[in-house]
């Protein structure tokens, strides 16, 4: 299946230059996060396009979202700079069938919060190792993933994670500090499918890990819409009597 993938990510190197951790981020992602996430789809035959805050008006439009099958979203320091209208547009398009994959700190991204309807807050601590366990081996996103895999360096995200109960908890992360976290969660919103995936702190090359890349690829196949809602599909009006 050939898909149209749209990747929104912040410029993590520019963010890091403002916050003083540019060396670590440059070492992990010398070409930034767009390229690292896109590398997961190398050889898949998908078309990959990019969106960022700097070109949002041109790259995150009704047309670009209609043309995309799945939107990947990585944001952190600049959630607040995403216009409310853009976030509402993404949520509306997901409701109509667009697949949405929220990565790591996108738990506080405006579109994700709109789709969840909760605060989406959690606990965190930097500089731990994580063991990611497959909790739903029957799920397509876990296809080919071993029973567990280790990330030697990752930011700890801990419970409680203030989200609605998911449809499936595909992955559970255990951290060296003792915390656990629901690291891979699926939802349906309207006609659209949503996957939240916790790994991906910008100081560690998590998106270069082969199993993480497999999960990103699986997520695209799972979240791609089987059908899109037409404007007339759910009219809020008295229906005619069935014949
Ligand atoms: Zn992080």
Q: Compute the distance from residue 104 Cα to the ligand 1 centre, in Å.
A: 7
Q: How confident is residue 233, by pLDDT bands cut at 50, 70 and 90?
A: confident
Nearest alpha carbon to residue 107 among 29, 15, 193, 182: 182
Ranges of beta strands (E only) in 135-191 are 148-158, 168-175, 180-189
Task: For 143-184, write each residue's pLDDT tens digit.
Answer: 999 999 999 999 999 999 999 999 999 999 999 999 999 999
Max Cα–Cα distance, the chain, nearest Å = 69
Cβ atoms within 10 Å of 158's Cβ, excluding its own? 17
**Is residue 25 exposed (0-12), middle (13-18) or buried (19+ Cβ within 10 Å)?**
buried
What tokens were used for 147? 């029973």
**CA 26 / ligand 1 centre spacing (Å):** 15
Q: How many Å lie between the centroid of ligand 1 and the Cα of residue 230?
A: 37
Q: How far is the CA of 72 from the centre of ligand 1 (A)?
A: 16
Question: Is the peptide bond preceding residue 195 cis, with omega within 30 degrees of 0?
Answer: no
pLDDT, residue 205, reads 97
> Ligand 1 center to residue 231 CA distance, Å?
38
pLDDT band at 58 (very low <50, low <70, confident <90, very high): very high
39 alpha carbon – ligand 1 mean position (Å):
20
Nearest to 113 by CA among 194, 34, 190: 194
Is pTM beyond 0.85 here?
Answer: yes
The predicted pLDDT at position 234 comes to 86
Looking at residues 119-123, what average pLDDT do you find? Answer: 98
Distance between Cα 243 and ligand 1 center (Å): 56
pLDDT for position 232: 83
What is the whole-number distance in angstroms between the Cα of residue 201 and the centre of ligand 1? Answer: 4
Give the up-direction half-sphere exposure of residue 90: CA atoms within 13 A in the CB hemisphere: 30
Q: What is the CATH T-level fold of the domain 4-121+181-229, as seen in this structure? A: Rossmann fold (3.40.50)
């Amino acid at each position: 299946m050939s898909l149209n993938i749209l990747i929104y990510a912040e410029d993590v190197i520019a963010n890091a230059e403002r916050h003083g951790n540019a060396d670590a981020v440059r070492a992990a992602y010398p070409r930034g996060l767009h390229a690292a996430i896109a590398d997961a789809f190398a050889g898949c035959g998908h078309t990959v396009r990019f969106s960022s805050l700097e070109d949002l008006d041109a790259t995150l439009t009704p047309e670009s979202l209609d043309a995309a099958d799945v939107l990947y979203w990585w944001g952190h320091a600049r959630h607040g700079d995403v216009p409310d209208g853009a976030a509402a547009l993404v949520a509306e398009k997901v409701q109509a069938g667009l697949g949405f994959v929220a990565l790591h700190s996108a738990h506080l991204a405006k579109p994700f919060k709109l789709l969840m309807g909760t605060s989406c807050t959690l606990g965190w601590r930097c500089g731990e190792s994580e063991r990611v366990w497959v909790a739903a081996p029957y799920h397509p996103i876990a296809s080919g993933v071993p029973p567990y895999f280790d990330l030697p360096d990752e930011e700890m995200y801990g419970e409680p994670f203030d989200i609605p109960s998911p449809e499936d908890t595909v992955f559970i992360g255990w951290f060296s500090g003792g915390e656990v976290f629901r690291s891979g969660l699926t939802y349906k919103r309207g006609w659209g499918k949503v996957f939240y995936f916790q790994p991906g702190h910008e100081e560690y090359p998590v998106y270069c890990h082969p199993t993480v890349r497999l999960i990103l690829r699986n997520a695209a196949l799972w979240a791609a819409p089987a059908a899109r809602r037409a404007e007339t599909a759910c009219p809020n009006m008295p229906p005619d009597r069935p014949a």
